[in-house]
Amino acid sequence: MREKIVAGNWKMNKTFSEARQLTTEILNQNLSTEVTVIIAPPFPFLQSLKDATKNSNIKIAAQNCHAKEEGAFTGEVSAKMLASMEIEYTLIGHSERRAYFHETNSFLKEKVNAALAHTIKPIFCCGENLKEREANHFFEVVKSQIEDSLFHLTEAQFENIIIAYEPVWAIGTGKTATPAQAQEMHAYIRNLVSKKYGSSISAITPILYGGSCNASNASELFKNPDVDGGLIGGASLKAQDFAAIVNAMESIVVANA
């Protein structure tokens, strides 16, 4: 069975004390060991929250990394720095990074390379905006994002990739892709991977859904055969809501065991 993952992207939220409190509350939820649980707090909190979760099954991810190892890039954080803190995962290509910071597919390719060079697993985000969805260009957009940024990798490298499909039109809008829409895109992505790397690689590649997934819709989304969990935004900022999403994934894992 593919790894099942629920990852919380805290974005630019929480003060240090609030982040510590939220982490404590999440730890107190006694989350499932059947699901890989990841939280991605802001950069300044990484080491403290890694220390706080060291005796739990919660993993820590960065929200981003730079493509270069070091140099005159004020305000940036490299994969080399993250690796020195033993951070295991980083988001790459989140729609907000693409939109607000104009990160291109070619630049994201460099970031993927940098993360993998330091044994950090990329959670690679892809997805279409509302205009692209309404114009029925969503398959082409996602195909380009994946091919341009990931398909240069060897099979061994690609085995460390986690893909997160995030329809941009459903992030922070209250809109959610229907379970059928999510499954359609996830199956399409898995087929792309299969054509490039073969069915054995595509069969083990986790593909997460990342568009306004919450406690009330998680179960229906996760029931789809190609949806392997979620990249959670706002709902990850409330411990009970985040735990409910993890529990929804656990229920499906147990049912399919």
Q: Which positions are annotated as active-site residues?
A: 94, 166
Closest CA to 65 of 105, 94, 23: 94
d(CA 204, CA 3): 7
d(CA 108, CA 257): 36
How far is residue 12 from each of residues 44, 96, 100, 159, 206, measured CA to CA in Å?
Answer: 11, 11, 14, 29, 26
d(CA 41, CA 237): 10
**Which pair of structure tokens corresponds to residue 30?**
């006694």
How far is residue 50 from each of residues 5, 16, 53, 114, 118, measured CA to CA in Å?
Answer: 18, 13, 5, 21, 18
Neighbour-count burial for 23-39, b at 16+ CB within 10 Å, e otherwise: beebeeeebbebbbbbb
Closest CA to 10 of 96, 87, 84: 96
